[in-house]
Amino acid sequence: MAVISLASVLDNPARRIPVNAMVRAAAAYPAKDDELLEGMRAQRLAYREEIRQLHRMDSEAYEVDIRALARSLRTLEEDIHVDATRELFGDPYVVELQGMRPATDAEAASA
């Protein structure tokens, strides 16, 4: 496998990386030892399978259960996305800039 540097790609358009390859490379794939995400993914598959089974039964009695499971699945997928993003990019942080701001433009000009 050859290493492609940014300079070589910019210099040689024939070596451009396809967009789908860049997307796959940027996707968050947590390490196998990350039990939290692996557990969440297993739970996601279990929810999806349970929804499939209830849907196959095709009974109106299970409609409420299917909706509840679908909501739980969406919430779980959002949690997986947040945790995978945190795993990939680290914890978010906020920078606060504090400083004295002059009350008027005249004070700013005199400063």
Q: What are the tens digits of pLDDT across the range 64-104?
A: 888 888 888 888 888 888 887 777 777 666 666 666 665 56
Structural domain including 63 reads: 27-84
C-alpha span between 111 and 97 (Å, rounded): 20
Is position 52 within any domain? yes
Token pair for 74: 């969406």
Is position 47 within any domain? yes
C-alpha span between 48 and 69 (Å, rounded): 8
Give pLDDT tens digits for 20-58.
666 666 555 555 546 777 787 888 888 888 888 888 887
Q: How many independent structural domains does the chain possess?
A: 1
Is position 3 within any domain? no
Is position 108 within any domain? no
CB 36 within 8 A of CB 82: no
Instruction: Burial-class residue 37 by CB neighbours within 10 Å (0-12, 13-18, 19+).
Output: buried
**pLDDT band at residue 1, thresholds of 50, 70 and 90?**
very low
Is position 9 within any domain? no
